[in-house]
A = this chain, B = another copy of it.
């Protein structure tokens, strides 16, 4: 086997053992279970190792133990502002346990997602799937190989953390009603999205409860242009306010309204979901805030727990949302 000569070849455990006049096992213990050997020897070895620039070879350790201290995280699209905070949260939690995280981008594409899963396989102890595009069957199959935790995807038997927009959307409707709105529209996102179904249903329940007029306009994509394109339909419905599937669409709606000289919030109110850009726009967007960072943390936390004790109770962790009122909503 040809080893590319490293500029500064790393010492092996044997070299440290020789230099310290002990066996390799002792050196090994000095790093993995220091409390199992003499305090003095442990210190001496670690010090010596430090001087020699020795560090345990992660790969060799992984081969021997079957544990590599890595997890995988697959998201549909890193560039969608919804995900970065979630990734961040996952990182933070992984960090605390000294785990490294592989990041994968599925491009909203099931086969790409499966490919990543395959590629990660054998290098990760578990995987977090965010807004997975895989079928239930594929997910269940993947979970048979190694622990899987889902975010915003509800598959029975697979640990999952769900951001529940119900409360936030209800608050949004209540907020608009309190401001005097009597005809609201929900701008729907991707039809196969779990989050979208959930928000739409919460919307329906809330408007029915309030006994006001309401309608739904359907867009296929969740982005600025898509939101902008819905404005004619929204205005045609005679609504005075819109709750949008996400903030990007909300921005699009605002753009479309501005083009038609409909002032926000003077003549029309707009509410987004996820609160990913709220504070950085003008006027600042009222939005249903999603605890995405928390979702990332929780998912990884659950995954790591599962790696510890191999319990397999059915976890379904729900995170609540709330309305963050800013400047795009006003009295009718």
Contacts and interface: CB of A to CB of B under 8 A. Distances in A.
Interface of A: 1, 3-4, 6-8, 55, 57-60, 62-66, 68, 70, 77-79, 81, 83-85, 87-88, 91-92, 98, 100-105, 118-123, 144-146, 224, 248, 251-252, 254-255, 258, 277, 279-284, 310
A102 to B, nearest CB: 5
A146 B254 CA distance: 49
A81 B81 contact: yes
A258 B282 contact: yes
A144 B100 CA distance: 22
Given A258-B282, A281-B281, A145 B6 contact: yes
Given A145-B7, A251-B281, A310-B4, A102 B102 contact: yes
B78 A3 contact: no
A194 B66 CA distance: 43
Contacts of A1: 64-66
Copies held by the complex: 2
A123 B65 contact: no
Contacts of A70: 102, 123
Contact of A59 (B104, B123, B284): B123
Contacts of A88: 77-79, 105
Contacts of A81: 81, 84
Contacts of A100: 102, 104, 119-120, 123
Contact of A8 (B78, B102, B104, B145): B145
A85 B79 contact: yes
Contacts of A252: 280
Most chain B CB atoms below 10 A, which of A120, A145, A281: A281
